[in-house]
Amino acid sequence: MGRRVLHSKFSVSRLSAALGLVLLIGAPGALAQSGSDHPQDQKPQAANPADVSKENQRKADEFTEASQALSGGPAGNPECVWLGRRVVQLMYNDDLDTAFRHLDLYDRFGCPGGHVQAAFRCLTRFIPQIDPKMPNSLNNHVHGCWINPDAKPQVAAAPAPGPASTPAAQASPAPTQQPAPQASPSPAQPPAK
């Protein structure tokens, strides 16, 4: 009988040792996965309703401007404007897989593929002027190129050499900041009653 009690003591201790070993091996992985107490996917506090309203109005104005400027074809349709601008932005950011998926949708809506090509070609002319630190710099350039794919960066005219200017001053003109491509002016709005 004493042997049986002694045998069961060893099997209980072996079982508890095995469980302890499993907990020691699995605990670091479980702790690493748990992370912090607060979830990271929570959105920040809602923005000021006036700011949201202004942003929505700006977006609506951009679609209206595009439909008026591109009234000659389907490139001015809201779905073509939205998808086409996204394709151009994704291509600029080298996200070609996503750009091609958006391009498939763009084609499915019957939007002109040549307009995406022309807008991207226009955007490549403005690459030195796109400032990643400025918010909406890329968006503004893409929108300007979408509305007017033939836009070209404005080059500063070199000053006429005068008698007091030196050859060194003529060789290196100071660089200037170029504005985003401008769309054609929209027709004047009738006064509100």
7-45 pLDDT tens trace: 556 677 777 777 676 667 766 666 566 555 555 555 555
> What pLDDT is stored for residue 46 in this prediction?
57
10 Å CB burial of residue 67 (0-12, 13-18, 19+) is: middle
SS3 165: coil
CA distances from 174 to 159, 162, 170 (A): 11, 17, 10
d(CA 154, CA 152): 6
Token match 């001015």: residue? Answer: 76
> What pLDDT is stored for residue 146 in this prediction?
92
pTM of this structure: 0.55
Which pair of tokens denotes residue 40? 């990271």
> What pLDDT is stored for residue 174 in this prediction?
47
CA dihedral 168→171→173→174, nearest 10 degrees, is -60
Instruction: Choose between 139 and 12: higher pLDDT.
Output: 139
> What pLDDT is stored for residue 7 in this prediction?
59
